Chain A
């Protein structure tokens, strides 16, 4: 399995600010995925980050709120913009694995 790190591991932020979460993988991958896990809920796919092209967003998620960068095959960032308390969640990145996907440790975000 790949080794995935995320920074920060957790943060507490004020309403109206933005936070950028980093995801680093130890091998080159064509696709990286960003998920949100709200308290007590399961995982919901936000978007697929493709190197060299814009991210593909799922229904209910928009680029203005969750801009994503994918500068190379081992790194991606997800920004949570203009945060509100409803954005308090765990944000996870994942990469394809055989089979399925392998998940990073997650970033626990609390918005006050």
Chain B
């Protein structure tokens, strides 16, 4: 089926700790995965992406891990800061028609 979902709707993390946001997908034909951050009152913004021929990609303070065996995607944020507070979405692109499907989102809440 065409389904991208997240395990937890809300994640609370202490400021300075690392955050891990998880995502499960179901379509084996997807070739490209993207993480987005949505702040209040704004549209989603690109954070990091990964292609299906990779299992890890690092950016500035963020790392995306892809496990195709169990169809699992995760976003790791190092040293979480107050500005990281947002809703995070994973999305997958279906290579056959460039359709981009989003998961339900996880709200990241930063504890002082």
A and B interact: no
Please report B residues at the A interface, Cβ cutoff 8 Å.
none
Residues of A at the B interface (CB closer than 8 Å) are none
